[in-house]
């Protein structure tokens, strides 16, 4: 992350604490986002989309239903991320906005890098290279792929709104396209 982007996101976190939620903590949010990512990615992998209704926006859920049904098993298996397999997490973008009716929203894009042992080909659609990591010696070789995912979390901060974050964008590059 560039220093300017880092400063910009920290400024937005300050605005969130000052004007929307005095107890907001990016560390706590990141922990919750990692847990949500792990749960949602596993449910996607298992095609249990009906269990995502409370976590994912209706628009995203509709798109996922179409995409998941077309995925080969190897790509579907690669969607699942165990929380312990998440190697790195960072914020991608933070936005604060109001709609025409004065409803206040905050959205935070989170980027995840995770290891997955799905049986993916070396080359996947789009001719992009998948990073592979081999664990163990010659007798106990285990191949894992380092994959990325972007999930956008949105929360309404209008008075009286539920204090829940909803996932409004799910991207698994080279897998869910």
The string of pLDDT tens digits covering residues 62-96 is 999 999 989 999 899 999 999 999 999 998 899 99
What the block records as the tokens of 130 is 């998948």
What the block records as the tokens of 106 is 């905050």
What the block records as the tokens of 122 is 């070396």
Cα 64 to Cα 57: distance, rounded to the nearest angstrom:
11
Work out the pLDDT band at 99, boundaries 50, 70, 90: confident
Name the pTM for this structure.
Answer: 0.87
Cα 168 to Cα 170: distance, rounded to the nearest angstrom:
7
Cα 177 to Cα 171: distance, rounded to the nearest angstrom:
8
CA 112 centroid distance within chain? 6
């Amino acid at each position: 992350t560039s220093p300017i982007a880092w400063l910009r996101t920290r400024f937005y976190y300050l605005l969130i604490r000052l004007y929307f939620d005095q107890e907001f903590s990016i560390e706590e949010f990141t922990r919750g986002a990692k847990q949500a990512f792990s749960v949602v990615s596993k449910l996607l992998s298992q095609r249990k989309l009906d269990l995502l209704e409370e976590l994912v926006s209706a628009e995203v859920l509709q798109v996922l239903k179409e995409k998941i049904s077309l995925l080969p098993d190897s790509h579907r298996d690669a969607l699942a991320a165990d929380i312990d397999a998440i190697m790195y997490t960072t914020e991608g973008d933070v936005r604060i906005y109001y709609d025409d009716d004065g409803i206040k929203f905050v959205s935070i894009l989170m980027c995840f890098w995770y290891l997955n042992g799905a049986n993916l080909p070396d080359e996947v659609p789009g001719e992009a290279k998948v990073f592979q990591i081999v664990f163990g010696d010659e007798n106990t070789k285990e191949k894992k792929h380092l994959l990325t995912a972007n999930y956008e979390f949105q929360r309404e901060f209008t008075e009286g709104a539920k204090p829940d974050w909803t996932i409004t964008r799910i991207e698994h590059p080279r897998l869910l396209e």
